[in-house]
Structure 1
Amino acid sequence: MNAKQMKSLALAYMGDAIYEVYVREYLLNSGQVKPHLLHQQAVRFVSAKGQATVLLHWLDSELLDEDERKIVARGRNAKSGSIPKNSSVQTYRYSTAFEALLGYHYLDKNEDRLHELMQAAVTFIEEGKKRDE
């Protein structure tokens, strides 16, 4: 399977699942065990707004290389055919691009870079939470 040739929405489909598992494991490792609280905390990480904010930060800070930027552009421009319920179309597209990038690295077996990006996402969201408090 060549991840670079896969459709962006297929990459995003996988990236969504991988990021969700990563966030759940991260929250459990932080000592949280109450299901309702776990869900509330997870939403901060996996929401379209949270993912889009992380991706825009990465683009601004030049964390992504040229190949990653191409994957992001493809993911952002993908036509999903669905209408976002809780976010703007632009936020939804950047969220899809975020997921496509993670899905690409997972399917291409770039485990070190995938972990690095997911950790960077979680760290950025946690720092934002601290700033907001």
Structure 2
Amino acid sequence: METSLIEFMTKGLDLPQMDPKAYSPLGLAYIGDAVYEIAVRTLVISEGNMSVNKYHKKSSSLVKASAQAGVYDNIKEKLTDEEAAVYKRGRNAKSATAAKNASIVEYRMATGVEALIGYLYLSGRTARALELIKIGLDVGENE
């Protein structure tokens, strides 16, 4: 059986197991943002060598709030009831900050997506998180 990324991290860093249900929606979004970012950067770098500036521009276009809102539109029909509930908790969380270049609706939708990705990561379901990111970004063949 393959070790999930969170199992690898907690073991490698000698950390206790983390219960995703113990974290606030914004805490889940915080870690989910990082997982989403590494997935996007991996996609971008897979396109081959280019300048770091081009890597950054491509990545930025996929991680901005409006793009993440689009991810939700692509995955909403594929979510389980549990995943939809986590997304809604994240979307409805009150943040002290707002996006510079996005509407409040897009920003909240993006926070919901990040919370969902963070929840799946901390639950040891990185494969599911990546599956949703792949569908959301419309990467490759989707059914």
TM-score by length of 1: 0.86
Instruction: Report which of the two structures shows the higher radius of gyration computed on alpha carbons.
Output: 2
Report the Cα distance in structure 1 between the residues aligned to 2:99 and 2:45, rounded to whole angstroms.
Answer: 29
| Structure 1 position 53 matched with structure 2 position 74 | no
SS of 1:31 mapped into structure 2: coil
Runs of 4+ in structure 1 displaced over 6 angstroms? none
Which residue number corresponds to residue 124 of structure 2?
A: 109
* Code of the aligned partner of 2:93: A
Identity in percent: 37
More helix by share: 1
Which residue number corresponds to residue 129 of structure 1?
A: none
Segments of structure 1 that go 5 or more residues without pairing to the other structure are 127-133
Counterparts of residues 16-95 of structure 1 (less than 5 Å): 16-59=33-76, 62-95=77-110
What CA deviation, in whole Å up to 9, does each residue of 1:20-41 have, x standing for no partner? 1111111111114311111111
Q: How many residues align?
A: 124
SS of 1:123 mapped into structure 2: coil
Larger deviation, residues 66-75 vs 78-87: 78-87
Report the Cα distance in structure 1 between the residues aligned to 2:43 and 2:74, rounded to whole angstroms.
Answer: 21
Report the Cα distance in structure 2 between the residues aligned to 1:98 and 1:63, rounded to whole angstroms.
Answer: 13
Segments of structure 2 that go 5 or more residues without pairing to the other structure are 1-17
What CA deviation, in whole Å up to 9, does each residue of 1:61-115 have, x standing for no partner? x110100000011000000111221111111000000100000000110122112
Structural RMSD (CA): 1.7
TM-score by length of 2: 0.80
